[in-house]
Structure 1
Amino acid sequence: MPQPLDTALSEVRELVLGPTLTRAVAAGRRRGPAPSVTRAELRPVTLKAGRRLQLVTDDGTRPYTRNLAVDEAAAAIDALLAEPFGNWHVETETATVQIRITKKGDAQVHRSGAPAAREPRLPGDRDPARPLDHDRAKQWLLDPGDPLFGVIGGNAAKRRQVDAFLRALAATLPEELPSPLRVVDLGCGNAYLTFAAYRYLTDRGANVRVVGVDVREDQRVRNSAVAEQLGCADTVRFVAGTIEDAVVDEAPDLVLALHACDTATDQALARAVRWNARWVLAAPCCHHDIATQLKGHPAPRPYAEITRNAILRERFADVLTDSLRSSLLRLNGYKVDVVEFVDSQHTPRNLLLRARHTGATATDAQRDEYETLTAQWGVTPALEKLLS
C-alpha cells in the first residue's frame, strides 16, 4: 500500500543518520523538475579525522565526493531529501528499505532483511568486518558487495571489467531515460554484463526491461535461473536463438553486443539498425572475415607491406573492420565513437563501438569515403551485406 511521502522520507532520514547505516542511494526522478544531480550515494567512513558520512554525488559527467562531519550531515541529508529523486535505497546492518515515488507523489515502500552476504574477500580488499576503515574508497558504479557478484563470482578483474563497461554505458545514455527502458543483449553468453547493466540502470531509477539472446539453450536455462535467484525474473528474461532470428517482442531502445565473435557482431549491429535502436554498445571480438578477404586480394599501392605478414594483416584487419562498421553506422543515421572500454591487460579485445541514433542523413562525402575505402582494399564488409 502507498504511504505518505513525508512519512517515508522521515524514515530514510532516520536510517541514514542512524548508527547502523551501511549504504544509501538516491536516484531517478519524479514527474516534473529533475534533481540537481543524477545520483547520490551515502556511506559511513572512518578517516584520520574521525567518523564521517561520505556523500558522493554525480551530475552525469563526473562524481563529486564530500566527507561530512556529524554537524554537517543533517543539513546535507535534508537537502537531498528535498530533491525530487524518484527512488531511495537504504541498507543498514539489519534491514533494507526501498522507496519508489509514484506518479501521484506517494511512496511505495518495500522492506526486507539485511542485504545478502558479501562476496569472499580478495587480496587487497577491505575487511568486511571493518567496513569504515579507509581513507579513499574506490567509487564503483556497481557496489562490489552487490548480490550479483555473489552469484556470478566477483574476483577483482571481473569487477574492474564490469565497472569499465558500466562507465561506458553511463557515458552513452542521457540523464533522462525512457520508461520503460527496453534493452536487448545479443549474444549474451553467461550474461554477467547483462545483469550488471540491469542492476546499474535500476539503481539509477530506470524502469528496465531486459532480454538476453544466446544461441545455446543451456545458457538460457542457466541465465533464467540466475534471474530467479536475483529476484528479477519478471523484468530480465532470456531466449534461445540466433542473433538474426531470435524473437524479441518489442524493438529495444538499447542494444548490447559484447564480444560476439566475428560476423556475429555485424549481425547484432544490423539488427540494431533495423530496430532503429536509440543506443548501441558493441565490443567486437575476432575479425576473421575481413582478414580472409585481405589475404585473397592484393593491397593497394604503396601498402603491400601492411598485409604481407600474417600477424600485421590480422591486426590491420581488426582496425579496418571496425572502421568500416563505424562508417556504415554513420551512413545509417548514427553518431559513433570508438573507445577503449577496459584496460588491455584484462582483454586484448577492448574496443567499444558506442553509437547514438540521431537520424542524420548521410552526406555524399561520407558515402564516397566508404566506397573508396572498400574499393581500394577489395573488401565487402559483412555488415554491408546484411544491411542491403
Structure 2
Amino acid sequence: MKKTKTSNAASGAGDVAAQLGLRPGQSLELLKELHILTREGRINQDSRRKLKQVYHLVQFIEKLLDELPPSEGGLRLADHGAGKSYLGFILYDLYFKHRAEGRVYGIETRTELVERSRALAERLGFARMEFLNLSVAEATQSPSLPAHFDVVTALHACDTATDDAIAFGLRRQARAMVLVPCCQAEVARHLNAHKALNLARTPLAELWRHPLHTRELGSQLTNVLRCLYLEACGYQVTVTELVGWEHSLKNELILAKYTGQRKRSAAERLHAILAEFGLQALATTRFALPGVRSDRQ
C-alpha cells in the first residue's frame, strides 16, 4: 500500500511538472523556494520567462560538462555573482544531484543571500554545494577554493563583474567559461573621457558622439574585446543568443572552451581596436596579456 501511495505521489508530481513545462525529476520544492513557483505550485509569466532563460543556459552548460573529461573528485563549477543562486541550484538539481561526484560553488558578495542559499541547500540535502561570501577579486586569491575549475559561469554579471569572472577563470585555469554580460559601462566611461580629442582625431568618433550611442557602442565593444582577449589567452569562443529578444534584452551568451592555442592574431586585433578607439589604458589593466598561466591539466 505504501508503495502505491509513493508511486501515485511521484506520478502526481510528474503530471504537475509536465503541465508547467518543467524538466523531468525537477524539485518542485526548490522552485517554490526560489519563488519561481507559488506555494500552490503555479507559475506566472515573469517567472516562466526567468525559468526559460535559466533552462537555456543550463542546456549549454550540461553539454559542456558532458564533453569535459572527468576531473579527480568530479567536475567543479563556480557561479560568480550568484545572487539567489537560481542557476547554481537548478544546475545542481538537474545535473549534479544524480551523480556521485562534482561540486557547485556559489560566489556572492551579499551576506544575506549567501546565508539564505546555505540554509536552502541544507534543507534540500544538496550536500555538494558551497556558498562563499566573497567578491570575485577576493575569490581569485582565496585558498578556500580549488586551484582548478572545470566551468566558470557568470549570469547577468553587471559591468566589470563579467571581467572579474574572466580573470578568476584564467587564474583558476577553467576549462570552460559561460558568460552572460550585463550593463557594461566601463568602456563607455573611457570613450566619454576623451571624446573631444577623438572627434578631432578620427571620424569614427562620430559613432560615440551622442550619449545613447556611447552606451550602445561601449557595450558592443566591451564584448568584442572580451572575446578577443579570451582567444588570445587560449580559448575557442562562440557568441550566440541566450533566448529570444522577447524574453530579455540582456541576451548575449559567450561560450569559451580552453584549447591551449593562443591566437596571436586575436592579441594583435585586440590592441589595434584599443588604439583605434583611444582605449589604450585598458591594455595594461583589463586586457593585460602577460602572465596568463598555460600549465593546464
Structure 2: gaps of 5 or more residues: 37-46, 292-297
Work out the CA distance in 2 between the residues paired with 1:249 and 1:270: 15
Secondary structure of 1:93's match? Answer: helix
- Residue equivalent to 2:52: 160
Secondary structure of 2:266's match? Answer: helix
Higher helix share: 2
Aligned pair in 2 of structure 1 residues 350, 260: CA closer, same or farther (>3 Å)? same
The alignment covers a number of residue pairs equal to 266
The residue identity in structure 2 corresponding to 1:280 is M
Q: 1:385 Cα deviation (Å)?
A: 4.7
Higher strand share: 1
Question: Given the alignment, which residue of 224, 246, 255 partners 1:323?
Answer: 224
Q: How does 1:1-388 map to 2 (within 5 A)?
A: 92-94=7-9, 114=10, 128=16, 141=23, 146-154=28-36, 155-175=47-67, 177-179=69-71, 180-202=74-96, 205=99, 207-232=101-126, 234-246=127-139, 247=142, 248-250=144-146, 251-297=148-194, 298=198, 301-363=202-264, 365-379=265-279, 380-381=281-282, 383-385=286-288
Secondary structure of 2:158's match? Answer: coil
Percent of paired sites with the same residue: 30
- Residue equivalent to 1:68: none
The 8 Å contact of residues 235 and 262 in structure 2, kept in 1 or not, is answered as no
Q: 1:171 Cα deviation (Å)?
A: 4.0
The 8 Å contact of residues 344 and 350 in structure 1, kept in 2 or not, is answered as yes
| TM-score in terms of structure 2 length | 0.79
Work out the CA distance in 2 between the residues paired with 1:176 and 1:93: 38
Aligned pair in 2 of structure 1 residues 231, 386: CA closer, same or farther (>3 Å)? farther
Secondary structure of 1:207's match? Answer: coil
Secondary structure of 1:367's match? Answer: helix
Secondary structure of 2:257's match? Answer: strand
Work out the CA distance in 1 between the residues paired with 2:276 and 2:165: 26
Aligned pair in 2 of structure 1 residues 173, 210: CA closer, same or farther (>3 Å)? closer
The 8 Å contact of residues 65 and 75 in structure 2, kept in 1 or not, is answered as no
The 8 Å contact of residues 181 and 206 in structure 1, kept in 2 or not, is answered as no
Moved more, 259-268 or 240-249: 240-249
Q: 1:145 Cα deviation (Å)?
A: 5.8
Q: 1:305 Cα deviation (Å)?
A: 2.5
The residue identity in structure 1 corresponding to 2:62 is A
Higher relative contact order (CA 8 A, sep 6+): 2
The residue identity in structure 2 corresponding to 1:159 is L
Work out the CA distance in 2 between the residues paired with 1:386 and 1:289: 19
Secondary structure of 1:361's match? Answer: coil
Aligned pair in 2 of structure 1 residues 259, 206: CA closer, same or farther (>3 Å)? farther
Work out the CA distance in 2 between the residues paired with 1:280 and 1:367: 19
